[in-house]
């Protein structure tokens, strides 16, 4: 059922941004068919007129691609362009009729089933490629739930997150915009040491050596990137997509769980690493726990799998500046992140290994190389070849992994307080996607799984919760031991 309030249309104001060519990354996402799903738990029942007015006033003016369609530009060799158009919100706001008996029995499963069914429904390409669905019934986590579905060609996770923050207010202080957390890094993911003074010679030698290491790591990562495109595949495990990624429109199920940001920071302090290192370690531990229980395999040999870790390519010296001026489009890259399926006596070892791996990746230009390869393929061989190569590359890795930084405090969006944010993607040729999202004092972990391949997917989600507890307990014990030793 669609929302009804007449057929009023939102008509954009004429600006310099009436047309814009699609970026190479956007064209790749278009051809591969990747979509973003953002589930927002609301703290009050839906007030449709208020939310609708907020969309018209806040979201549409700030993000031009919500008011744009894709048009082929014959004068530019048949390349697609974004062209502004009038938006009829009745075409984009949907309030479905969900069976009351199903809702009463298990409201969270009712939402899961609805969103899973949504992943099999194509979007109408004659309209801007987004729609919002309101499930106006309570769950243990929220009073009502909003599901925003968008085509990945119109933007990436970070651009949408900054849009949400820019269009909202702080729940604690509605007079101001919500604050973003301080940046975890002030430059690109790779590390370049500043040039030392000419004297002493030892410092200069160390500086030159750091560049040689950077070049060597980049060369190795580049070879592995090309090898993965050509022939290098992960070993087949129960996480490998059963159909090898050939089928399209596979039904995806999304589940999410809240983890404590304070627990993550405790582990971060004990290991002296980053929050991202902790999350990669928790993923490795959870995947290992699920694998050994499910397979019954008790071998001690480690199994090395690889994830494709998405990385925001925007400068992050000031996230609040990015919020003030929302950046549209896709500005992300990625790197191959190996992890081992293994059991460790000390759960912290998963995080230590993740730290060593990510420290190694920070001494490489792999992120720049990956983006350059994608742009090169689209520019010189066309989007069809580029999309084919991207699909081939993704089928030869096992997991998609990402982490999006959200606001440091709870927000009120379009007059509705948001109690949780859980986002993910579908359309990519992998059976499992793990997505982390900071919001306030929690980190929401969202799993997107092939519905038929993981009938016990909630056990996998439980493993993430259990792995976090085990690693946090080990970190707490390590802290107590250190205090007693001192």
Whole-angstrom distance, CA of residue 169 vs CA of residue 151: 26
CB 148 within 8 A of CB 51: no
Whole-angstrom distance, CA of residue 356 vs CA of residue 349: 11
Whole-angstrom distance, CA of residue 473 vs CA of residue 326: 40
The residues with which 404 forms a beta bridge, in sequence order, are 437
H runs (alpha helix) in 132-200: 157-166
CB 162 within 8 A of CB 327: yes
For 75, list phi and psi in degrees, rounded to 5.
-70, -15
C-alpha 323, offset from chain centre = 18
Whole-angstrom distance, CA of residue 410 vs CA of residue 355: 30
CB 339 within 8 A of CB 32: no
- Least Cα distance to 330 among 6, 34, 72 occurs for 34
CB 336 within 8 A of CB 397: yes
Whole-angstrom distance, CA of residue 42 vs CA of residue 277: 30
CB 246 within 8 A of CB 450: no
Q: Could you tell me the CA-to-CA distances from 462 to 21, 430, 481 in Å, in that order?
A: 44, 21, 29
CB 54 within 8 A of CB 415: yes
The C-alpha R_g of the chain, in whole angstroms, comes to 23
Q: Which of 35, 92, 152, 435 is catalytic?
A: 152
Q: Is residue 62 within a helix (H) or strand (E), and if so which, with residue range? A: helix 60-62
Whole-angstrom distance, CA of residue 486 vs CA of residue 480: 10
- Least Cα distance to 352 among 214, 477, 474 occurs for 474
Whole-angstrom distance, CA of residue 436 vs CA of residue 446: 6
* Residue 151 among the catalytic residues: no
CB 221 within 8 A of CB 335: yes
Q: Could you tell me the CA-to-CA distances from 423 to 14, 309, 384, 426, 462 in Å, in that order?
A: 32, 15, 28, 10, 18
CB 435 within 8 A of CB 443: no
C-alpha 149, offset from chain centre = 14
> Would you name the residues annotated as active-site residues?
152
């Amino acid at each position: 059922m669609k929302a009804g309030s007449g057929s009023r249309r939102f008509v954009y104001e004429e600006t310099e941004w009436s047309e814009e060519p699609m970026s190479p990354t956007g064209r790749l996402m278009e051809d591969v068919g990747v979509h973003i799903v953002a589930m927002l738990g609301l703290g009050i029942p839906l007030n449709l007129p208020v939310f609708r007015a907020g969309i018209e006033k806040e979201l549409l003016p700030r993000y031009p691609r919500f008011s744009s369609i894709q048009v082929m530009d014959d004068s530019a060799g048949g390349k697609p362009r974004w062209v502004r158009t009038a938006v009829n919100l009745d075409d984009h706001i949907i309030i479905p009729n969900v069976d009351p008996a199903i809702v009463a029995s298990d409201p969270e499963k009712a939402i899961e089933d609805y969103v899973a069914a949504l992943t099999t429904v194509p979007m109408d390409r004659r309209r801007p490629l987004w729609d919002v669905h309101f499930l106006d019934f309570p769950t243990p986590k929220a009073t009502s739930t909003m599901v925003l579905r968008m085509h990945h060609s119109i933007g990436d996770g970070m651009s949408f997150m900054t849009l949400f923050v820019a269009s909202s207010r702080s729940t604690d202080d509605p007079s101001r915009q919500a604050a973003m957390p301080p940046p975890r890094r002030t430059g690109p993911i790779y590390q370049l040491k500043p040039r030392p003074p000419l004297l002493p010679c030892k410092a200069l030698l160390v500086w030159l050596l750091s560049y040689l290491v950077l070049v060597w790591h980049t060369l190795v990562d580049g070879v592995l990137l090309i090898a993965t495109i050509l022939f290098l595949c992960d070993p087949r495990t129960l996480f490998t997509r059963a159909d090898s990624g050939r089928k399209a429109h596979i039904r995806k199920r999304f589940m999410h769980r809240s983890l404590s940001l304070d627990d993550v920071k405790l582990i971060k302090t004990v290991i002296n690493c980053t929050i991202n290192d902790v999350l990669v370690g928790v993923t490795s531990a959870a995947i290992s726990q699920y694998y050994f229980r499910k397979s019954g395999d008790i071998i001690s040999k480690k199994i090395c799998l690889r994830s494709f870790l998405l990385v925001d390519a925007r400068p992050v010296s000031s996230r609040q500046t990015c919020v003030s001026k929302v950046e549209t489009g896709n500005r992300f890259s990625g790197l191959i992140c190996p992890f081992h399926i293994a059991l460790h006596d000390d759960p912290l070892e998963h995080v230590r290994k993740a730290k060593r791996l990510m420290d190694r990746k920070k001494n490489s230009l792999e992120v720049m190389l990956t983006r350059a390869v994608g742009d090169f393929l689209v520019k010189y061989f066309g989007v069809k070849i580029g999309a084919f190569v991207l699909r081939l590359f993704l089928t030869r890795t096992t997991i998609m992994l990402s982490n999006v930084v959200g606001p440091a405090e709870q927000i009120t969006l379009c007059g509705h307080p948001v109690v949780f944010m859980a986002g993910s993607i579908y359309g990519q040729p992998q059976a499992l996607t793990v997505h982390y999202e900071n919001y306030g004092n929690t980190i929401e972990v969202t799993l997107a799984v092939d519905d038929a391949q993981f009938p016990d997917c909630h056990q996998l989600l439980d493993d993430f919760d259990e792995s976090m507890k085990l690693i946090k307990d080990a970190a707490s014990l390590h802290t107590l031991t250190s205090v007693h030793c001192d």
